[in-house]
A and B are shown apart, each in its own frame.
Chain A
Amino acid sequence: MSTRTTARLEGVTFRALITLVFAFLLLPVLIVILTSFTPQNFPAIPQEGLSIKWYQELLADQRLLNALTVSLLVSTVSAILSAIIGTITAIGFVRGEFPYKEQISTIMLLPMIISPVITGIALVRYFSTIQLPSGFPALILGHTVLSLPYVFLLVRSELLTYDRDLERASRVLGADPVTTFRHVTGPIISPAILAGAFIAFVVSFGEFTATQFLISPGTSTVPVVIYTMLRTGLTPTINALSVVLIVVMLVLALASRKLSSA
């Protein structure tokens, strides 16, 4: 075999392998979406026409709708809190000067490093000690702390690239710090803050492992309901609910990406 044919063969093999890896990565999600349109009572790939009956089933199920409302509420509130706290903290770390700044900033990242099971039991125990009710207050606080690192990282990297002279000019011209933030810094970094809030929403909306400890009867979130349903048997309703989850998460994540790269 000539070297050229060997090289071509290598190229073809490599491309085939890459295609397989992409298939491995993406097919699980695609199969969830595809089988949600089955007319059968089992998540099968629809071969004789598509059906939306499992989505109608979803709309008729009070428990699932309730979970969706709980998830939307918890994720919205915790995303807002996370965006506010994350932004203020990021400004402090980027603009402030203090010793061991880099090392101390890793504390902000701890919630994404520690196993969420440990976070879950630690929080539920702590909340009962300080008598914070389980359900919404526990879920919102827990999700805020879990999504905070993402906002912090995003806003911090945005602040690092932005021209500080604009802020200095505002201060020199007589504006106080809060006015400077409202009219100069804020508007410039607001796409990043919004991007951070969206990512925080996505993190919260999909969180399961710590969440299973924080829920109370009646405040199950969508991932918890999916997990519980999976344990009792496969029905295409799980697919329909998963697809709703996928759509919400992808739309917000894409919006976030658009905002932060702009």
Chain B
Amino acid sequence: MSVQRGGLGRVTHIIGEGLEGRIANRHLALFGLGFVGLFFVLPILLLIPESLSLGSTTPFESYRRVMNGIYVDAFVRSFLYGFVTTGVTLALAYMLSYFLAFSTERVRTAMILIIVPLWIAYIVRYFGILLFLSPAGPLADVTGFETDLLFTTPAVIIGLANVYLPFAVLPIYNSLNAIDEELVNASRVLGAGKWRTITKVIFPLSLPGLVAAGLIVFILAAGSFLGPAVLGGPKQTMIANVIAQAFLDNFNIQFASALAIVYTVLLVGLLLVFNTLFDLQEVLGNI
């Protein structure tokens, strides 16, 4: 039986016949891999020779500069803020997730409310926090309550925790939701109180989700540019800000590349340490 083929159908048919047997599904994967390779992986790898500036009279100069006090401070600050933000975010996310997983009321609405901020640009959300913390801002205007938090470390942590909170809720909620209710009931029937059930049964079972959430929040927070740029002062500069500054203000691509590479190496090193404590593949599977 032959099917009548018009215009486009005919063209696709000819292409299809031509491709038949010659191109397999796995070749399609190469399309995206090639694109990401050419316009992402290669550009990032090229930062390595860039940072070394081997051809110049002072190779490795950039790396010597990275050891400079103010840059070491920025590295330490990035990891420190990353850890603190992760702690704060996980505590808040755990409460929200617990509420979502174990309450019977309007969970869908609550879930939407948690996800909605994810769809709104970071810059707008940081702007909102800036308004909140402004000494003469709208909140101070209405309530008369003034904070002098703006451009301090707590302001940056508040901003980062606010922005990354939804990312943490999803994996924790999933792991809490997967807990077999029979286990919780058994714990209660066998005489454990509510808190004992939470600490001895629910919490240990939700650990994989918690670890996954912590990993995401840490990576995002430590590498944040906008958080410290909008809410911090000169003393809250994190590594992303230093890299951007080296590039945009001082046009020093070598130095910016060296900072980027040192940061990436440190982050990967940290992930490898993390991998010895938790199985990274398994953690990523929980995301």
Residues of A in contact with B (beta carbons under 8 Å apart)? 7, 10, 14, 17-18, 21-22, 24-32, 34-35, 42-45, 47, 85-86, 88-93, 95-98, 104, 107-108, 110-111, 113-126, 129, 141-142, 144-145, 148, 152, 175-180, 182, 202, 205-209, 212-213, 223, 226-227, 230, 234, 238, 242, 245-246, 249-250, 253
Contacts and interface: CB of A to CB of B under 8 A. Distances in A.
Nearest to A105: B29
Given A47-B142, A208-B123, A223-B121, 7 more contacts: A45-B138, A45-B142, A176-B13, A176-B20, A208-B122, A226-B123, A250-B119
A21 B96 contact: yes
Contacts of B96: 18, 21-22
Contacts of A91: 25, 28
B32 A108 contact: yes
B43 A126 contact: yes
Contacts of A179: 9, 12-13, 16
Contacts of B248: 212-213
Nearest to B225: A209
B225 A117 contact: yes
A253 B119 contact: yes
A114 B32 CA distance: 18
B190 interface: no
B19 interface: yes
9 contacts: A35-B138, A44-B141, A88-B31, A89-B35, A117-B244, A121-B47, A142-B39, A202-B119, A213-B247
A43 B142 CA distance: 12
B27 A92 contact: yes
B260 A24 contact: no
B121 A249 contact: yes
B40 A88 contact: no
B26 A31 contact: no
B41 A121 contact: no
B244 to A, nearest CB: 6
B120 A206 contact: yes
B283 interface: no
B185 to A, nearest CB: 17
Nearest to B220: A115
A24 B92 contact: yes
B243 A107 contact: no
B37 interface: yes
Given A96-B29, A118-B263, A230 B13 contact: no
A35 B131 contact: yes
Contacts of B225: 115-117, 209
> DSSP majority for the B interface?
helix
Contact of B128 (A28, A42, A88, A178): A28
B139 A31 contact: yes
Nearest to A250: B119
B46 interface: yes
Interface stretch (B56-64, B66-74, B109-117, B172-180): B109-117
A180 to B, nearest CB: 8
Contacts of B273: none
B132 A28 contact: yes
A94 B243 CA distance: 38
A246 B264 CA distance: 32
A52 B123 CA distance: 22
**A-B pairs with lowest CB-CB distance, top 5:** A89-B32, A28-B128, A92-B29, A92-B28, A206-B121
B207 interface: no
Given A176-B13, A177-B16, A209-B240, A29 B30 contact: no
Contacts of A27: 128, 132
B26 A98 contact: yes
A115 B268 CA distance: 12
Contacts of A93: 29
Given A92-B30, A182-B12, A148 B35 contact: yes
B253 interface: yes
Contact of B129 (A28, A86, A141, A212): A28
Interface in B13-57: 13, 15-17, 19-20, 23-33, 35-37, 39-44, 46-47, 50
A225 B132 CA distance: 21
Contact of B43 (A44, A125, A212): A125
Nearest to A178: B16
Given A123-B43, A129-B46, A145-B35, A226 B28 contact: no
B25 A29 contact: no
A125 B253 contact: yes
Nearest to B32: A89
